[in-house]
Amino acid sequence: MKNIDEIVIAPDDIVTVTQMHHLTEIQFTEKTNTRATVKRLNNNEFLVISTGEIKEFERTDKRSDSSQGIRKSTKALRYLINANFTGANNECFVTLTFAPDASGWRPMLGDGCYITKMFKRLSRRLTKRYGHFEFIKVNEPHADGHAHLHVLMRFDDLDRISISNSDMERLWSCGFVQIESLDDVDNIGAYLSSYVTNIEVNAETLAKFSTHDFLGEKIGDCVVTDSRTGKKYIKGGRLHFYPTGAQLYNKSKGIKMPSRRRMKYKDAKKIVGSANPTFARDSHFERDGFTNETRFESYNSKRQHS
């Protein structure tokens, strides 16, 4: 039975379609604005075109204070991953950590130059042994602010890549390494973007987040359960520990964004055939008398739905 709040897209409505291997996403927005409403003047100010006002950008201390920026970054990351990685035999997913040095120091996420230097050293060593590879590197902070990295690698010149944890750890030579299989993950972008932005629910995280709203939502509404492990996570909780200006991810030159096309909904449905969405989300927006509705549908050809 259809939910009373479900947004119905008419056949002739214009939607945006993004195709990424076995995944197809359709996005509908009831009201779209194709004209710019503001113009950036410098690093601190912008012009409101409709009124001529010059305003200052709002600055925040943590990335988690800007929910719109978070959503854009994680959406772009998800698109990059799904357009370039499928879990093939020549791909691997690696977590790289930093062990304390003799003085007890290890890098924070803000130590970008050092982190980049160490990753470039690893890249040279891997390329010398296995050949050129493309990558997406996600920079993630621990709760204490110290950095670790999650990296997707794709070796295009090889049919299969096989690297043991011990071999990767020797090549990395900065700390602990974990290589994880993604064989049973059919939406790597969604899995990994959640993996690096959510934080596990425990006494420490609940004490930190339960006393206030998180990203504009009640904390109870932000708790999700990992279907693979059964563990509970605070959705987006990890982003609280990203300092402003810290990059969420980096990529190599060969990693490309998927193409996005606008078309009528009835033509988009021809692409996905008779399949039902594997995931759908409706959003209703209202502010100062302005209302808008959006619907997002995701189709995964690796899952069978009638």
Q: How confident is the model over 164-195, as pLDDT tens digits?
A: 999 999 999 999 999 998 888 899 998 888 77
Query: Quick check: 129 pLDDT over 60?
Result: yes
Give me the pLDDT at residue 197, please.
Answer: 76
- pLDDT single digits (tens) 14-42: 999 999 999 999 999 987 765 666 667 67
Q: How far apart are CA 71 and CA 66, in angstroms?
A: 9
Query: Quick check: 225 pLDDT over 90?
Result: no
Q: How far apart are CA 178 and CA 152, in angstroms?
A: 12
Higher pLDDT, 154 or 212: 154
Higher pLDDT, 67 or 165: 165
